[in-house]
Amino acid sequence: MPHGKRIAELLINIGAVKLSVDPPFTWTSGIKSPIYCDNRMLYSHPEARKFVVDALVQRIRSLNVEPDAIAGTATAAIGWAALVADRMDLPFVYVRSKAKEHGAQKRIEGDTVAGKHVVLVEDLFSTGGSAISSVEALREEGKATVSDVVAIFTYEMNASTEKAQEARVQLHPLSTFGILLEVAVEQGRLEPDALVKVGEFSSNPQEWGKHL
């Protein structure tokens, strides 16, 4: 993961990642978390944005199969996927979280990807739900082949790995929760004695906040 540390540094330095044990953050799902990551902030920083796009492109080019098209998950990864597709001169589509209630009532926006090998771009992996749902839409509605999903960051939750295995798809994050914690300690943004407590989050996120 050659770009992992630098991306972790960028996320921390621009304030895209925040760490707090007491009080923790509360995600939309209700999970209590010591970390909040908003990769969309990277869009506003040209140098960081370029570095991330370069890293995504390099990771995709290292995959076993050369893609015919790039897809992005709505809404956070639409921009990343479009930038990657433009850089690689490939067709681009994005996948809605649910079908439109009017018109063609489809989840995939863009021209057909039927019969094509598509790489999906996600902004981050948490439980893996949105990524796997998008993979299924590309396969079922889009009639495409999808074997790989790339993302900027992963919380390293067991749930995402399990869902990926069930869906027969490989997840490829550029940076990880573990790498980010190491960088945070190096920069003095996280006390070493808090490292173990924060690090426990990934292994059991549903229960982590109940023991504060």
- Residues paired with residue 125 on neighbouring β-strands, in sequence order: 154
pLDDT of residue 197: 86
- In degrees to the nearest 10, what's the CA dihedral of 164, 170, 176, 177? 10
pLDDT of residue 149: 98
Q: How far is residue 162's CA from residue 105's CA, in Å, rounded to a whole number?
A: 30
Q: Are strands 92-95 and 108-109 parallel, antiparallel or unpaired?
A: antiparallel
**Do residues 120 and 153 lie in contact, with contact meaning Cβ atoms separated by under 8 Å?**
no
Q: What is the identity of the amino acid at 201?
A: F
Cβ-based neighbours of 152, under 8 Å, separated by 6 or more: 7, 39, 42, 52, 56, 80, 123, 124, 173, 174, 175
Q: How far is CA 171 from the centre of its chain?
A: 9
pLDDT of residue 212: 66
pLDDT tens for the 212 residues of the chain, in order? 679 999 999 999 999 999 988 889 998 878 899 999 999 999 999 999 999 999 999 999 999 999 999 999 999 999 999 999 999 999 999 999 988 767 667 999 999 999 999 999 999 999 999 999 999 999 999 999 999 999 999 999 999 999 999 999 999 999 999 999 999 999 998 888 888 889 889 888 988 887 66
pLDDT of residue 58: 97
Report all structural domains of the chain as residue ranges with CATH numbers, in order of start: 4-204 (3.40.50.2020)
